[in-house]
Amino acid sequence: MLGLSKKDASLLITVAVLVALAPIFLNPFPENSALSQFNAGYPDLMQRFVIFGIFAIGFNILFGLTGYLSFGHAAFLGAGSYAGVWMLKLLTINVIPAILISTVVAGLFAILIGYISLRRSGIYFSILTLAFAQMSFALAASVLTPITGGETGLQTALNDPRILDGANEGGNIPAPNFFGLEMGDSLQVSFAGWLWTFNAGYYVSGIIMLISFYVAIRIFRSPFGIMLRAIKSNQQRLNYTGLNTRPYMLACFVISGMYAGLAGGLMVAMDPLAGAERMQWTASGEVVLMTILGGVGTLIGPVLGAGLIKYFENIFSKINSNLLHKWFSFLPDGLEDFVVTIIYPFIGKGWHLTLGLMFMGVIIFLPGGLVELGQRISRSLSKNKNDAAEHKPAE
């Protein structure tokens, strides 16, 4: 199907089904239940799942295939975001030109940074990309204020030209839309206590994520992809095999940067606001965590990692001490306080601590990330099955 092998096609279909049904299964708890706290099926978060999924898929094309660890990928996310907002301001509030231009701008930016950074490999490459991203961040926050809006950020305004849209009559700042379908539009369905929100912006992002995922599969299986894996494995041999690795690396870096730009463009298409903090090194670090947590070099890993981190960021950080007291109110008073005191540093603002511990656990016990966890589980399940099958004839 679509030029994919059976295995890849079924993976793509699985992901497509999951994306389509996410609003339902991400809300497993009824609206008024005590656990509705853990529901993740609201538009804002679901949009972030798929957008950061795109970011991580693109990062993985660079890091997973070639082993080059870029520590400055947020620069492309930010560049894409700014380009996207400018498109929304100047051309039209329709999201399509914004998304396209953010991808292109990030690609051009990646050519510049990649051309210089790729003169080095290993840790020096990481440092160079980090330096570029921090420079971009500093520029965006100060010198380039006329273009980037400085520390307040760049957003759409009532008096933007929007030359394709004609006169603005409503008196409100128009919301980004896809040929009239506003990104904020949602269809809410209530069913026996459950509340499901089907959001237009989420589905636009989701479809673009599926396309990105499909393209990533094709890249992984292409001659280009195999050369990238060869670069990771033994660059010297590849050079002596008659291949010039430099343009391969640059092409890969640019593709990866374009994915980041696309994610940035989608972010502003959902919420037309771009700030310099999007380029900061913590944002670059986050995508590294996502990829490693999910599984470096695997197809689905980065998407899972992005989902997990965004889930923690949004759900864990919302748990506060009142809620903890409520949960543990069945314990005797002294014990309740004690348990809450122990758990408290790991939730709310302390969710980074939980993330850090999880990251350490994955690095030490599951170097292949969540994908390896899945493989181990399915292997032990099938082993049990085989054992059972082997035992039967003996009976």
Partner 1 sequence: MGILDIKDVGKRFGGLQALSDVNLNVEENTCHAIIGPNGAGKSTLLNCLIGKLIPDSGSVMFDGQSVLGRTPYEINQLGISRVFQTPEIFGDLTVFENMMIPIFAKRDGAFALDAISDFMSHKDVVEQAENELEEMNMADKRHMHAASLSRGDKRRLEIGMCLSQQPRLLLLDEPTAGMARADTNNTIDLLKEIKEERDITIAIIEHDMHVVFSLADRITVLAQGTPLVEDVPEKIKGHPKVKEAYLGESA
Please tell me whether residue 193 binds partner 1 under the rule CB under 8 A: no
238 versus 304: smaller Cβ distance to partner 1: 238
CB 229 within 8 A of CB 296: no
CB 371 within 8 A of CB 295: yes
Min separation Cβ 57 and partner 1, Å: 14
Please tell me whether residue 120 binds partner 1 under the rule CB under 8 A: no
Min separation Cβ 234 and partner 1, Å: 5
Neighbours of 40 (CB within 10 A): 19
Min separation Cβ 225 and partner 1, Å: 7
Please tell me whether residue 238 binds partner 1 under the rule CB under 8 A: yes
Interatomic CA distance for residues 71 and 126, integer angstroms: 5
Min separation Cβ 19 and partner 1, Å: 23
6 versus 326: smaller Cβ distance to partner 1: 6
74 versus 227: smaller Cβ distance to partner 1: 227
Please tell me whether residue 345 binds partner 1 under the rule CB under 8 A: no
Min separation Cβ 245 and partner 1, Å: 8
- Quick note: the x/- pattern for partner 1 over 196-235, rule CB under 8 A, is ----------------------xx-xxxxxxx-xx-xxx-
170 versus 223: smaller Cβ distance to partner 1: 223
224 versus 312: smaller Cβ distance to partner 1: 224
Three-state SS sequence of the chain:
CCCCCHHHHHHHHHHHHHHHHHHHHCCCCCCCCHHHHHCCCCHHHHHHHHHHHHHHHHHHHHHHHHCCCCCCCHHHHHHHHHHHHHHHHHCCCEHHHHHHHHHHHHHHHHHHHHHHHCCCCHHHHHHHHHHHHHHHHHHHHCCCHHHHCCCCCEECCCCCCCCCCCCCCCCCCCCCEECCEECCCEEEEEECCEEEEEEHHHHHHHHHHHHHHHHHHHHHHCHHHHHHHHHHHHHHHHHCCCCCHHHHHHHHHHHHHHHHHHHHHHHHHHCCEECHHHHCHHHHHHHHHHHHHHCCCCCCHHHHHHHHHHHHHHHHHHCCHHHHHHHCCCCCHHHHHHHHHHHHHHCHHHHHHHHHHHHHHHHHHCCCHHHHHHHHHHHHHHHHHHHHHHHHHHC
Site for partner 1 in 243-262 (CB under 8 A): 243-244, 247-248, 251, 255
Give the count of alpha carbons within 13 A of 142, CB side only: 6
Please tell me whether residue 241 binds partner 1 under the rule CB under 8 A: yes
Interatomic CA distance for residues 84 and 103, integer angstroms: 9
Min separation Cβ 237 and partner 1, Å: 4
Min separation Cβ 259 and partner 1, Å: 13
23 versus 368: smaller Cβ distance to partner 1: 368
Please tell me whether residue 11 binds partner 1 under the rule CB under 8 A: no
234 versus 382: smaller Cβ distance to partner 1: 234
98 versus 238: smaller Cβ distance to partner 1: 238
Site for partner 1 in 320-339 (CB under 8 A): none
Min separation Cβ 249 and partner 1, Å: 11
Min separation Cβ 345 and partner 1, Å: 40
188 versus 241: smaller Cβ distance to partner 1: 241
Tell me the number of residues near partner 1 by CB under 8 A.
29
239 versus 384: smaller Cβ distance to partner 1: 239
* Contacting residues toward partner 1, per CB under 8 A: 3, 5, 218-219, 221-227, 229-230, 232-234, 236-244, 247-248, 251, 255
